[in-house]
A and B are shown apart, each in its own frame.
Chain A
Amino acid sequence: MGIDASFVDGLRSALGQQHVITEPEQLRVYECDGLTGHRALPQLVALPGTTEEVQTVVRACYGARVPFVARGAGTGLSGGATPMAGGAVISLTRMNQILEIDLESGRIVVQPGVANLDVTRAVAADGYFYAPDPSSQQVCTIGGNVAENSGGAHCLKHGFTVHHVTGATLVLPEGDTVELGGKALDPDGMDLLGVVVGSEGTLGIVTEVTLRILRVPETVRTLLAGFETTDAAGAAVSGIVSTGILPSAIEMMDRLTIEAAERSTAPGYPAGAGAVLLVELDGVAAQVEEDAAEVERICLEFGAFELRVAADEVARALLWKGRKSAFAAMGRIATDYYVQDGVVPRTKLPEVLRRIEELSEEYGLRVGNVFHAGDGNLHPLVLYDSGQGETERARELAEAILEACLEAGGSLTGEHGVGMDKACSMPRMFSERDLAVFTRLRDAFDPEGLCNPGKVVPTPRLCGEVPGPYRAHALERIGVAERL
């Protein structure tokens, strides 16, 4: 049992000598993903090149009861790809081929190691694109996107990864392979594809994915508006949405993130703005033009003191530049930051932002807010200095912010996933019964508990017996008062 010499030899003869890594210095590359605070050294990394080789590795792990985790580019922010000490990492980076482009069907079939942006690149010349666009899209892989149900700035109109995956080949944790869906939509029976997408690599390993590709819209219009306060910008967001306009993206940055962006990429945002709103509309020209005029009117009505409209692709890229580099820009104003991914109902944005401000003062740490305002997905950046011993306080502040999101009826995570980072916070959003049902599902896929253990669902070993205050799930809370 476990990884011994014969285990390693078996995999080497199946995959090739160079595709099985066991040297400690090489293994170190795999000890964490984008959540660098959690690290563990795997005992082995396998780099299979085909579905059959993935099956071989998984069967070997299953046979020897070795826990394993699949890994793409390792850009995840919740520790979904953090290995288990002594376990195996199955890296899918060699499986980076685009297998089929079927424009007539509006589908593309890819291996999991293909980078997100490469999907769009493969079809752009034909006038198509792949809609989900996480910030890390240059490097993050489709396999990782499927695991995390990745979003991105433009999912407000176009939806998340789950809306764009129509089929997948899945290697189950015991090594069998199943085909879910295909190029057609809505196969008969329970929606397995819908639960596998976003399962954070705990229900199996996807080795082939069929994706929807969309026609590039006729027109794209990008507007940037400067406001005195986030309250005013938030009110404008509500104003836009309540008229029935559905922009492809509505992004907001607050004073601190604007400051950081100016110091780093100097996008030249309106001077003195307490908040900027970036609104993008796409679709048929007649609709986009009408909606853009309306968005401008609403922004001015809610107090925008400066409005810019991108006239061409270069101007558009400039408006986006500050937003896309916002996380990295924080390095200019703080030594460390901790990013959260809470969600609140859009109408609760102003109140939750005020609460975050209060918490920031209470804990004596700065918090920058950059977020997908259109769908209420906040990315508060808690700034701290680990050298000054502020790490623990930053974590506590981040927890308190999540608590505020849940209090408002929201979610722990909108797109980064639960992973290791938030597994112990799950009981704040879900009851013990809810979590027990999650475990039933997981056990049906993975009876031995070998497939990415310790993620998504909290375990007593990881979190202790009483992980935080309990509250009923948001859906169950609704209407309870009136029944009493």
Chain B
Amino acid sequence: MRSRGSALPSVSSLEEAAAVLQAANNEGRGLRIGRDVTTDGLDRVLEHEAGDLTCTVESGLRLSALNAALALEGQRLSLDPPGDPTIGALLSENVSGPLRHRFGAPRDLVLGVTLVLADGTIASAGGKVVKNVAGYDLSRLVCGSRGRLALIARASFRLHPLPQSQRTLVVATDDAAETVAVLFGSRLEPSALDVLHPGRVAVRFEGSETAVDAQVATAQALVAGNEGDEEIWAESRRRQQEARRTTRFAPGELRDILERLPEAVVRPSAGVAYTATGIQPTSSEPQSPPSAEALHRLEERILRAFDPKGTLRE
């Protein structure tokens, strides 16, 4: 077991992870994954099958390191969340960035996982092939679980080819909802579409050079706008990271949401707005109280099933 600087234990194998969790579990000690124990030592790309557009990696690997390795074969994991999370954090937070628009969140690209449960049980679910419906999809279940179900030790992902070409269009507008509606109503296929509220809509097109140029030209004919660059996506991710509140809404209610929020980074197709201010708009999708209670009970039951002693903490 490696220790880096501080006294944080960093596990570097499945067996070590199992031993650390099991010890805490036996001693009745709470454990926060990523804080009390890290997976920094689990940082290998175990398999990259370029011909299959899949890879299997250990969870302590940083997304940037994975994408650097994949780029050697002209491929990428199509996720661009703020910061540079480890694969484990990426999944347990189910965090995505502007590419969410076309490629989905981590839960959409994960194919399988190997988990270490609080009692030291090592278990896998899913697989390493892009199509598979055998067994319960625990690789999706752990997405967003914030480290409370299990330690994610390994994961397999679906990959995409690096685009030959990419261009960004920035539309300055005081009616972003209209710009978005026009783009959604077109047959364009952007890879990313964010509203940097107030005032701008950013759209990214990826593909072959001619196809990207054709899409940009079509988009400009529809909504005008000027050529942008990476800076606007960096701004989008930065504001997302600094956001204190996440608001979810039906994508068709974009106009209402924009009117209620003084500023936000909004990903309209996902129906998500990230805001720095603490203003709480009324949720457009309220849960009925009995359903919310039943949901809470169900989540508690699942947590207890995976971690009966409540060893894993957020």
Which A residues are within 8 Å of any B CB, using their own CB?
Answer: 102-107, 148-149, 151, 155, 159-160, 162-163, 172, 176-180, 182-192, 194-195, 197-199, 215-218, 238, 241-244, 246, 283-287, 290-291, 343-347, 372, 375-377, 409-418, 422, 426, 429-431, 433-438, 440-445, 456-457, 473-476, 478-479, 483
Contacts and interface: CB of A to CB of B under 8 A. Distances in A.
B19 interface: no
Interface in B48-74: 49-54, 56, 74
A217 B304 CA distance: 46
A307 B143 CA distance: 44
List 8 A-B pairs, minimum CB-CB distance, nearest first: A194-B140, A104-B252, A184-B271, A244-B161, A287-B211, A105-B252, A184-B248, A286-B214
A352 B295 CA distance: 44
Given A376-B131, A418-B133, A441-B302, 5 more contacts: A105-B250, A105-B252, A162-B140, A411-B127, A414-B132
B137 interface: yes
B125 A437 contact: yes
B207 A287 contact: yes
B136 A179 contact: no
Given A192-B141, A242-B50, A172 B272 contact: no
Contact of A431 (B124, B185, B252): B124
Interface string B278-294: 00000001011011001
A183 B251 contact: yes
6 contacts: A105-B250, A159-B108, A177-B290, A179-B291, A188-B246, A198-B136
Contacts of A410: 127, 129, 132
Given A183-B271, A184-B270, A478-B46, A430 B135 contact: yes
A412 B285 contact: no
A433 B121 contact: yes
Interface string B142-160: 1111101100001010001
Contacts of B189: 217, 283-284, 287
Contacts of B133: 148-149, 160, 198, 411, 413-418
A189 B299 contact: yes
Contact of B252 (A102, A180, A190): A102
Given A347-B52, A444-B305, A426 B134 contact: yes
A375 B187 CA distance: 26
A283 B114 CA distance: 36
B294 A190 contact: no
A418 B134 contact: yes
B187 A218 contact: yes
Contacts of A416: 133
B141 A194 contact: yes
B271 A185 contact: yes
A475 B127 contact: yes
A426 B134 CA distance: 8
A187 B129 CA distance: 26
B207 to A, nearest CB: 5
Contacts of A445: 298, 301-302
B131 A414 contact: yes
B51 A190 contact: no
Nearest to B249: A184
A178 B295 contact: yes
B104 interface: yes
A158 to B, nearest CB: 11
Contacts of A102: 250, 252
Contact of A343 (B125, B131, B272, B301): B131
A45 B225 CA distance: 60
A414 B126 CA distance: 11
